[in-house]
Amino acid sequence: MEKLLIHKSGPLQGTVAIHGAKNAALPIVAACLLGDEPSIIENVPQVTDVLLMSEILRHLGATVDFSGDRLTVSPNGYAGTVAPYELVSRMRASICVLGPLLARQGKAQVSMPGGCVIGPRPVDLHLKGLQAMGATFSIEHGYIVGTANELRGAKIHLGGSFGSSVLATTNVMSAAAIADGVTVIEHAACEPEVVDLANFLIAMGARIEGHGSPVIRIEGVERLHGVRYRIIPDRIEAGTWMTATAILGGDLTIEGALADHLGAVIDKLCETTMAIDKLNGSLRVRRSRDPIRAVDVTTLPFPGFPTDLQAPMMALMARARGVSVLTERVYPERFMHIAELNRMGASITREGTSAIVKGVDRLSGAPVTAPDLRASAALVLAGLTAENQTEVGGVEHLDRGYQDFENELVRLGADIRRITAEERPDAALAFNVERDTGEER
């Protein structure tokens, strides 16, 4: 069991380089299963979600080599069709293999992803899209069992109750790339990671138009070849560093941050009084004036404010001057971090799909536990602005999506250190006391 020990730090001065986008890497690595030849993916972040996806591909029979930021997938005529519970239960995005497996093998058995702390996570849109192309599904023993003798192009509307679905769009687009005929996806997700997958498939020989818009047209081709492809920079990692600078103050140049992918985030942070300069291939972020001004934020599909930055934004608003309302339109239940931030002295109440955040002058360090990936970053940022020591548990969530986050913080002067229970003589006792509180984590 690892924890992060954090003390008040800042300002952040210097430069940080953004890694490749995890959420682009996952569907792209899965889509390597569509090719006849090895593909080399560059700028792949070394995070546990990507390692898990590599494990799934190996389990299916592909050869995966991951060294540095380069990941090579050799499909080798893989024959597997099963993505097992042990792997899928650790990462919902394992569902990315469903479309490629059905298209290539005519069969797929993917463990049904359960709900998670950010709320129910249905897969109806994935199934609806692939069914329209001729696949049939049943749920057996906790697995989605899909078969498709032949996938045919179709016109598919992929809008759901909460808007478009990123991974349903990537699954259908991947399958359609080698299906028979033309597929048109309406209400497609427009996220940059969807565009990156489309560009990867096009490099492999696919015929795709309209990616980045709500209507994508895919004309199926006979085969896809291997390619060398470079993943886009991670806009959520960049947004986290921007928020970190807003919370801790300073002057940070974020190399690789693409302004076009961060429009809503730049807009909101500028409203809080941050100064943001668009440089060539990077963003310079400065906290121009004290204090940070409270702003209202509503999460929406791209190009709206990303749900993945709602928790870091809440940590910022917890210290802002005034009251802000953060509204979730993508995951209405994604508020587990409220209770943890309140343990540190924040003043946040939930009303339906909104959080009402009254900014406070100080946070006080406390033992807290990260409930999910992006909440882990929010708690680290809150800890860096809190009095005394903060202990953040659940750091395995941080490792799922942020490469070198704490090392980079240390390099920029922050006081943050990873410990295991064994490293501290009083640790076992301290951890047991926490468990005895009976609080829900």
Q: Identify which of residues 175 and 416 has a Cβ nearer to ligand UD1 in the complex.
A: 175
Would you state the structure tokens that stand for residue 56, as one six-digit string? 């799934």
- The span of 35-43, 156-164, 212-220, 266-274 binding ligand UD1 (CB under 6 A) equals 156-164
How many whole angstroms separate alpha carbon 38 and alpha carbon 20? 20
Say if CB 316 and CB 272 are below 8 A apart. yes
Among 137, 331, 402, 405, binds ligand UD1 (CB under 6 A): 331
* Residue 190 within binding range of ligand UD1, rule CB under 6 A: no
Distance between CA atoms of 87 and 212, rounded to whole angstroms? 30
Which of the ranges 50-58, 65-73, 155-163, 404-412 carries the binding residues for ligand UD1, by CB under 6 A?
155-163
Question: Is residue 139 a contact point for ligand UD1 (CB under 6 A)?
Answer: no
Neighbours of 229 (CB within 10 A): 19
Cβ 309 to ligand UD1 shortest distance, Å: 10
Site membership for ligand UD1, residue 162 (CB under 6 A): yes
In the list 308, 391, 399, 408, the residue contacting ligand UD1 (rule: CB under 6 A) is 308
Show the tokens assigned to 341: 């931030």
Kindly state the smallest distance separating residue 279's Cβ from ligand UD1, in Å: 27
Q: Which of residues 99-138 bind ligand UD1 (CB under 6 A)?
A: 121-126
Helix (H, G, I), strand (E, B) or coil at 119: strand
Residue 23 binds to ligand UD1 (criterion: CB under 6 A):
yes
Distance CA 396, CA 398 (A): 5
Cα 228 to Cα 133: distance, rounded to the nearest angstrom = 29
Q: How far apart are CA 313 and CA 311, in angstroms?
A: 5
Residue pair 19/424 in contact (Cβ under 8 Å)? The answer is: no
Is residue 177 within 8 A of residue 206, CB to CB? The reply is: yes
Tell me, rounded to whole angstroms, the distance of Cα 283 from its chain centroid.
Answer: 21
Rule CB under 6 A: say whether 307 interacts with ligand UD1. yes
**Quick check: 85 and 95 in contact, CB under 8 A?**
no
Q: Shortest approach of ligand UD1 to residue 156 CB, angstroms?
A: 12
> In whole angstroms, how close is the CB of 124 to ligand UD1 at the nearest point?
5
> Long-range contact list for 68-71, CB < 8 A, 24+ apart?
69/19, 69/20, 69/42, 69/43, 69/44, 69/45, 70/40, 70/41, 70/42, 70/44, 71/25, 71/29, 71/40, 71/41, 71/44
Q: From the list 26, 264, 276, 381, which residue makes contact with ligand UD1 (rule: CB under 6 A)?
A: 26
The single residue among 43, 54, 81, 165 that binds ligand UD1, judged by CB under 6 A, is 165
Residue 330 lies near ligand UD1 (rule: CB under 6 A): yes
Task: Tell me if 196 contacts ligand UD1 by CB under 6 A.
Answer: no
Taking the complex as a whole, how short is the minimal distance between the CB of residue 330 and ligand UD1, in angstroms?
A: 5
11 binds ligand UD1 (CB under 6 A): no
At closest approach, how far in Å is the CB of 93 from ligand UD1? 4
Count how many residues are written for the chain. Answer: 441
Told to judge if 32 belongs to the known catalytic residues of this protein, a careful annotator would answer: no
166 binds ligand UD1 (CB under 6 A): yes
Query: Shortest gap between Cβ of 360 and ligand UD1 (angstroms)?
Result: 27
Q: Enumerate residues 170-189 that contact ligand UD1 by CB under 6 A.
A: 189
Nearest CB to ligand UD1, comparing residues 61 and 212: 212
Q: Which residues of 268-290 are buried (b: 16+ CB within 10 A; e: fewer)?
A: bbeebbbebeeeeebbbbbbeee
Binding window for ligand UD1 (CB under 6 A); candidates: 143-151, 162-170, 245-253, 380-388 = 162-170
| Contact flag: residue 48 with ligand UD1 (CB under 6 A) | no
Nearer to ligand UD1, 12 or 29 (CB): 29
Alpha helix (H) residue ranges in 140-271: 166-177, 192-203, 235-248, 263-271
> Exactly one of 96, 116, 190, 270 is catalytic; which is it?
116
Distances (CA, A) of 212 to 22, 104, 353: 18, 25, 28
Interface residue with ligand UD1 among 167, 276, 318, 338 (CB under 6 A) is 167
One-letter amino acid at 135 equals: A
Site membership for ligand UD1, residue 90 (CB under 6 A): no
**73, two tokens:** 């997938």
* Smallest distance from ligand UD1 to CB 237, Å: 12
List interacting residues with ligand UD1 (CB under 6 A).
Answer: 23, 26, 93, 121-126, 160-162, 165-168, 189, 193, 307-308, 330-331
Active site residues: 116
